[in-house]
Amino acid sequence: MTYISLQTEHPEQYRYQLKVAHLFGDLMNTYGDNGNILMLKYIAEKLNAAMTIEIVSLGDSFDDQYFDLTFWGGGQDYEQEIISDQLEAITPPLSRFIEDGKPMLAICGGYQFLGQYYILASGKKIPTTGILGHYTVSGGEDRIIGDVEIHNEEFNESYYGFENHGGRTYLADNEKPLGKVVYGGGNNGSSGEEGLHYKNTFGSYFHGPLLSRNARIAYRLVTTALKQKYGEELELASYEDLFSNLDDKEVMKDFKRKVEE
Ligand code: GLN
């Protein structure tokens, strides 16, 4: 049975309501990936939307009509192996959710699970949902670890994070990367690409967590969910309105200092 892990207090005081599915949130949460959930809730509340987050895990079904936004965090190979043969129940509705263009974010192990297969560090090949075209092979004990910066040309935005993964992911022809690597390893250490962008689904190896260091992605996910639910013409505060006190240059300085040290 799914259960609520977090919800906005006094939801009746908000104009809008959003429901978030947190896939396998009880088993997959490496390097503070749950911070992405906190960031989604923070932005939603700033936009006058109360948010309810429900854990969808082993044995649960996933209702693609009920949920407005989906998050899937990273995991260790150990948990991924346990989950891998229990993905069939959620796969058809999750595929509809993605193909319908509903907003989703998948990090690291979750991102790997959206693809065709994943080969663990041990060399064992485990099944994944097969919803999207990318696949992930093993880098063995040779993990890609460190600070990473990418640039997304479509949105003209730079993103910053920390990566720690053994898997090497290769995108399919109909998948765009989340960005081109400026610094770090990215999807596989050689393609110069990081993450995935397909319709309104975003995948990434960024921990940190991704959304608290890159609030524009959180804003995009939440506003997409709100417009799909309440109408495209919905007038929402702009990103600049919400974060007029945030100096992007300060974030950059922090990052540069870290990589130069
Ligand atoms: N276990 C996977 C890997 O090592 C995913 C890691 C993660 O989610 N951080 O590639």
Tell me the pLDDT tens digit for each residue of 27-54: 998 888 999 999 999 999 999 999 999 9
ipTM confidence: 0.94
Do strands 201-204 and 196-198 pair parallel, antiparallel, or not at all (unpaired)?
antiparallel
Residue 257 scores a pLDDT above 80: no
Ligand 1 shell residues, CB under 6 Å: 30, 74-77, 80, 108-109, 164-167
**Which is nearest to 226 in space by CA: 102, 141, 127?**
102
**Total length of the chain:** 261
Out of 22, 108, 134, 165, the active site residue is 108
Q: Is 134 a catalytic residue?
A: no
**What does the pLDDT look like over 214-255, one tens digit per residue?**
999 999 999 999 999 999 999 999 999 998 766 555 555 555
**Could you tell me the domains of the chain?**
3-233 (3.40.50.880)
Under 8 Å between Cβ of 141 and 166: yes
Rounded distance between C-alpha atoms, residue 109 and residue 65, angstroms: 24
Ligand 1 centroid from CA 78, angstroms = 10
